[in-house]
Structure 1
Amino acid sequence: MQNQTSNFDMKMKLIHGFSNKTRIQILECIKEEEKTVNQIVEEIKGSQSNISQHLACLKGCGIIVGRNEGRYMYYSLRNQHIRDLLSMFDVVLEDVENDVACCDRHID
């Protein structure tokens, strides 16, 4: 039972990475190509400190990776599986969009 509980905890940690509007915006922003913090800030119109905190969260749970080049850090999705998962969210959302829109039990 301990192993199954641990697996559930790990799944929840992974899902938590996707459970914030800013983090989803960041992931969509870097879905097709790597970008610097400044490029991400400019594209999603956020504050640099807030974006940096969310990038740290995403990197910490393994959803994105960072690559240093000179004085810039470039962020990208960890792999094709993460890109596929983001696409699958869109596919599933198409099926349940009306129900999600009417749901008043979600947490912001």
Structure 2
Amino acid sequence: MTEKNIDLKIKLIHGFSNKVRLQILECIKEKEKTVSQIVEELKGNQSNISQHLACLKGCGIIVGRNEGKYCYYSLRNERIRELLEMFDTVLEDVHSDVACCANHVD
């Protein structure tokens, strides 16, 4: 794998490496939602959520669809949904190790 591909992979993984971004992804995993719906469900700050949505969209993880005055956000495709589900599957296998890992603390 080339250095450029490694750097791109790091950027992609970075999109998943934040608590708020993961919460957003889980929030829209099954159904597209507006910013207001996401903010309400996550009980978050609209400005903060919007910044994270921009990051996710910029990384190509989500897409936005305009309808009237609303923008609906959803996962880019089924592969992103499968990746989120794979995270859960792998986590089941390594849960106790991850829980004890002192290298990555919030």
Q: Judge same fold: TM > 0.5, yes or no.
A: yes
How many Å apart are 1:107 and its aligned residue?
4.7
Equivalence for 2:62: 64
Equivalence for 2:36: 38
Distance 1:81 1:8 in 2: 20
TM-score (ref. length: structure 2): 0.98
Q: 2:41 is paired with a residue of what secondary structure?
A: helix
Equivalence for 1:10: 8
Equivalence for 2:81: 83
Percent of residue pairs identical: 76
Gaps of 5+ in 1: none
TM-score (ref. length: structure 1): 0.96
Equivalences for residues 13-24 of structure 1 within 5 A: 13-24=11-22
Count residues in correspondence. Answer: 106
Ranges of 4+ aligned residues in structure 1 off by more than 4 Å = none
Which stretch shows the higher mean deviation, 19-28 or 3-12? 3-12
Q: 1:68 is paired with a residue of what secondary structure?
A: strand
Gaps of 5+ in 2: none
